[in-house]
């Protein structure tokens, strides 16, 4: 007699997710854009497109370039700003029963604090903090590349919100585990990694960069081995949950990240290739557990044998 349906639930602090499959910010809009393709209520969570204090128009086109096994993007964090987000997007998000995570970004500590305060008044589930942004008051150094700044941003958001706080880490650092430790010390409930790697593409006929911004963020299957290694390193260093991101498109990818120490994962570029990717991976993960007679997905987390 076989086992019943496996338990897909995972926890990030006091937040219980129906399953570990989330969508990554910037690749899934505000959820509604994918409603015709995906049963959004089945997802562990939707992480919406990043929001800032004031509206951003983003970078000039071209802003996306395909690469071998991935893509480069330099969208420039285009968004309508927090006030329009609260009036136009929050009412739509309330329709869904899955977790709703809002990604925030800022150019100063004060902006992160303001966003945390405004979102704390809403019914969203959690806040994900993008710290790959430049600190304009520190000469443009990205918050996520300095452990002290990682701590400071985490602390300020933590003090202004009682929502679960997820710090999204940049891979463009020497020691990502040190950044994760700073986020943990600052009061984060979880860390998500990795954000995109800096990359470039050149048009050899025009002899110009293919992106108007010259450089952009590399995502997709090409970065998966790097992301997997960083997730494993961070999981060895911190006690808070780790959310894996980077080139995940198959059930095998999902299981690898869980074994490496991720409690949950986010699907990014795969959504742009197959809008149904996230929901298909939920089914695939359940089938994997059934086929291998694993009663709970929790048995996979940190299950790597070394």
Kindly tell me the burial class for residue 286, based on how many C-beta atoms sit within 10 Å of its own C-beta (0-12, 13-18, 19 or more).
middle
Residue 4 lies in a domain: no
Residue 289 lies in a domain: yes
- Cβ count near 66 (within 10 Å): 11
- Determine the pLDDT at residue 3: 62
The predicted-structure confidence for 228-278, as pLDDT tens digits, reads as follows 999 999 999 999 999 999 999 999 999 999 999 999 999 999 999 999 999
Average per-residue pLDDT in the chain?
A: 95
pLDDT at residue 186 above 50? yes
pLDDT at residue 181 above 70? yes
Eight-class DSSP state of 86:
I
pLDDT at residue 1 above 50? no
Residue 18 lies in a domain: yes
Strands (DSSP E) along 91-233, which ranges? 99-104, 126-130, 134-135, 141-142, 165-168, 190-193, 197-200, 202-203, 208-209, 215-219
Looking at residues 127-137, what average pLDDT do you find?
85
The predicted-structure confidence for 152-166, as pLDDT tens digits, reads as follows 999 999 999 999 999
Does the annotation count 133 as an active-site position? yes
Domain residues for the domain of 139 are: 10-60+76-201+218-299
Residue 209 lies in a domain: no
Q: Among the options 98, 113, 133, 156, which is catalytic? A: 133
Residue 95 lies in a domain: yes
The predicted-structure confidence for 273-300, as pLDDT tens digits, reads as follows 999 999 999 999 999 999 999 999 999 9
Q: Which two tokens stand for residue 294?
A: 């694993």
Residue 168 lies in a domain: yes
pLDDT band at 134 (very low <50, low <70, confident <90, very high): confident
Give the residue carrying structure tokens 């963020």: 217
Whole-number Cα distances in Å, 222 to 75, 156, 197: 19, 34, 10
Residue 32 lies in a domain: yes
The predicted-structure confidence for 52-84, as pLDDT tens digits, reads as follows 999 999 999 999 999 999 999 999 999 999 999
Question: Which CATH number covers residue 130?
Answer: 3.20.20.70
pLDDT band at 2 (very low <50, low <70, confident <90, very high): low
Cα 83 to chain centroid distance, Å, stands at: 22
Report the number of distinct structural domains present in the chain: 1
Residue 255 lies in a domain: yes
């Amino acid at each position: 007699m076989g086992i019943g349906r496996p338990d897909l639930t995972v926890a990030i602090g006091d937040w219980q997710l129906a399953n570990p499959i989330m969508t990554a910010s910037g690749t899934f809009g505000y959820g509604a854009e994918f409603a015709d393709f995906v049963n959004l209520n089945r997802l562990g969570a939707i992480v919406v497109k990043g929001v800032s204090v004031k509206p951003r128009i983003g970078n000039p086109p071209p802003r996306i370039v395909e690469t071998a096994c991935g893509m480069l993007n330099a969208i420039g964090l285009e968004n309508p700003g927090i006030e329009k987000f609260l009036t136009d997007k929050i009412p739509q998000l309330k329709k869904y029963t899955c977790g709703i995570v809002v990604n925030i970004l800022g150019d100063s500590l004060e902006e992160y604090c303001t966003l945390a305060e405004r979102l704390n008044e809403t019914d969203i589930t959690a806040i994900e903090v993008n710290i790959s942004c430049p600190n304009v008051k520190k000469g443009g150094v990205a918050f996520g590349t300095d452990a002290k700044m990682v701590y400071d941003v985490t602390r300020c958001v933590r003090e202004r919100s009682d929502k679960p706080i997820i710090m999204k880490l940049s891979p463009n650092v020497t020691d990502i585990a040190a950044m994760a430790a700073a986020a943990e010390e600052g009061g984060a409930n979880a860390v998500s990694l990795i954000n995109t790697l800096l990359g470039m593409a050149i048009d050899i006929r025009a002899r110009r960069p293919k992106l108007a911004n010259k450089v952009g963020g590399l995502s997709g299957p090409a970065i998966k081995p790097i992301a997997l290694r960083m997730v494993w390193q961070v999981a060895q260093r911190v006690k808070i949950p780790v959310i894996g991101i980077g080139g995940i498109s198959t059930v095998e990818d999902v299981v690898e990240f869980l074994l490496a120490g991720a409690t949950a994962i986010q699907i990014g570029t795969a959504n742009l290739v197959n809008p149904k990717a996230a929901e298909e991976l939920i089914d695939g993960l359940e089938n994997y557990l059934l086929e291998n007679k694993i009663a709970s997905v929790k048995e996979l987390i940190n299950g790597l044998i070394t």
